[in-house]
Amino acid sequence: MIDLRSDTVTLPTPAMREAIYRAEVGDDVMSEDPTINRLEELAAERLGKPAAIFVASGTMGNLAALLAQCGRGDEVILGNQSHIFLNEAGGMAALGGIQPRTLPNQPDGTLALDELRAAIRSDDNPHYPHSQLIALENTHNRCGGVVIPPSYFAAVREIANQHGLLIHLDGARMFNAAVALGVDAREITQHVDSVTFCLSKGLSAPVGSLLCGSEDMIYRAHRARKMLGGGMRQAGILAAAGIVALEHMVDRLAEDHVRARRLAEGMANIPGLTLDLESVQTNIVYFDLSPGAKLAPADMAAQLRERGVLIGWSRAVTHCGIDDAGIEATLAALDEVMRG
């Protein structure tokens, strides 16, 4: 099967499997797993932060970041299309008593700076919750996998500094953004207080994410991770794959971007499909069925499955498991299905 549903379906590489087999392990809850410690040091260095903590998922990393930096009744300003708001089960409110204040994401994934300034609450009014943190996302999934440049983060940093706010970056696909922009990831992350990134998406590790930030914040995040059930003991077998991911899988993300572009350009020429080519900047392709399309989204997905292609009805994601032949086969199957 050609599986374009998500880059989370990636399988560990042979080098990862070998590293898992040979991993030296200890009790990470006691900070005694040497492979975990090495991964955390490597992640902190790659993101330009003093410290890092290994967590089970990006959702856990984002929630641990918010719990470590916000108190009950505090408010987080974030986009209405952000993963934290839409796809993390309301954890910030349910488990942290943290209030989300949403602003509309612009097509490029950003929050309008004037709207951001206006959303910050004044501490002079006791009726308001306390504005504590701004949460951003890069690449921005729901906006098409678009990349947001360092200049935008610098502008948000200036606003945050003026009002004493912190900034968290959901960087699940942080390295896709850096590769697409042709910059070191630290050029982006220097402007934020905390950042998460996933090992288990385009970097192809089987499990895990990293939360990076100051030593004090990461100390508090350890308590949050424990509260969330994230103490994983001899997790060095997972971290070993993460080390391989960071050392060998980042640069090849550019191949996924090229294939996503080829897929998008081909889809644009298939009757019944519509998409915005300008939003296809990394490894994600969002598309819609034209109003006059002859079949429903579920029928399209079912017919593609019969032809050996797994795809979300509105999204296709390239990854290391998809080669050039897979892209061409997908386009041929889409053309056949859409033409009936």
Give 10-residue mean pLDDT values along the chain (340 residues).
97 98 96 97 98 98 98 98 98 97 98 98 91 98 97 98 98 98 98 98 98 98 97 96 98 98 97 95 96 87 97 94 98 94
Residue 160, pLDDT score: 98
| Residue 15, CA atoms < 13 Å, CB-side half-sphere | 11
CA torsion sign, 239 to 85 to 317 to 277? negative
pTM of the model: 0.96
Tell me what pLDDT residue 140 has: 98
* C-alpha Rg value of the chain to the nearest Å: 21
Backbone angles phi, psi at 131, to 5 degrees: -70, 120
Residue 216: which residues within 8 A CB-CB, separation 6 or more? none
Q: Which fold has domain 11-248?
A: Aspartate Aminotransferase; domain 2 (3.40.640)
Specify the pLDDT at position 312: 86
Q: Which CATH number fits domain 252-338: 3.20.20.70, 3.30.360.10, 3.30.70.100, 3.90.1150.10?
A: 3.90.1150.10
Q: Residue 220 has what pLDDT?
A: 98
Under 8 Å between Cβ of 238 and 28: no
pLDDT recorded at residue 124: 86
Q: Show me where the domains of the chain are located.
A: 11-248, 252-338
Cα distances from 31 to residues 34, 49, 223, in angstroms, run 8, 19, 13
